[in-house]
Amino acid sequence: MSEAVTGSEFVITRVLGAPRQMVFQAWTEAEHLGRWWGPKGFSISLIKLDLRPGGLFRYSMRPPDGNEMWGKFVYREIVPPERIVFVNAFSDPEGNTVRPPFAPNFPLEVLNTLTLTEQDSQTVLTLRGLPVNATAAEHQVFAAMHDSMQQGWTGTLDQLAAELTLQQQWAPMETSPSS
């Protein structure tokens, strides 16, 4: 299977005030992922999380208007706590890849590489995305939507930052000895 990943790469970077291991766990453990993943204002339901190369993360998203959508990650590479490579796509309720409802010429699949580097007790998160097996028209739509993707990912990463803050507030209580 050939994979053309040429074109305009989407990149977003965020510095998070949490150790890399904690950020990695937020991306890879269902109890955390279900609390922050997805666009702001959407409710998320985790359907499946199978964290391994070839494994799947499936979820449904419901915006305030109630029009449910589904999505999935197919994991390609997992290097704790440094890197996760996954193909992201919209899906139907059964998990079959479908076009997103908002853009009929958006690529069916986007290859994402998430890297986490620790720096001064903080984590630098970098996400890079490129269309997979996309037509020239799909690459153009992907490039034209970078501003919208930037806004969407910024909101999602805001939720991740809030989740990490909550985890750090509770962490000392969970590890303190019983009185």
pLDDT digits (tens, 9 = 90+) for 18-37: 999 999 999 999 999 999 99
Kindly state whether residue 96 falls inside one of the protein's structural domains. yes
Kindly state whether residue 155 falls inside one of the protein's structural domains. yes
State the pLDDT at residue 172: 56
Kindly state whether residue 137 falls inside one of the protein's structural domains. yes
Kindly state whether residue 61 falls inside one of the protein's structural domains. yes
User: Taking 50 as the threshold, does the pLDDT of residue 3 lie above it?
Assistant: no
pLDDT digits (tens, 9 = 90+) for 96-127: 999 988 888 999 999 999 999 999 989 999 99
For residues 132 and 114, what is the distance between their CA atoms, to the nearest angstrom?
16
CA dihedral 156, 25, 9, 93 (to 10 degrees): -70
3-state secondary structure of 127: strand
Q: Kindly report the average pLDDT of the chain as a whole number.
A: 90
Q: Does 176 or 6 have the greater pLDDT score?
A: 6
User: Taking 80 as the threshold, does the pLDDT of residue 47 lie above it?
Assistant: yes
> What's this model's pTM, rounded to 2 decimal places?
0.89
Kindly state whether residue 31 falls inside one of the protein's structural domains. yes
Number of domains in the chain: 1
State the pLDDT at residue 125: 98
State the pLDDT at residue 177: 46
Q: What is the CATH number of the domain that holds 155?
A: 3.30.530.20
Kindly state whether residue 147 falls inside one of the protein's structural domains. yes
% of the chain residues with pLDDT over 70: 91
Q: End-to-end CA distance of the chain, in Å?
A: 59
% of the chain residues with pLDDT over 90: 78
State the pLDDT at residue 102: 83
Kindly state whether residue 178 falls inside one of the protein's structural domains. no
Task: Note down the domain range covering 87.
Answer: 10-170
Kindly state whether residue 2 falls inside one of the protein's structural domains. no
State the pLDDT at residue 178: 46
Alpha helix segments (H runs only) across the chain: 20-28, 30-36, 136-144, 146-175
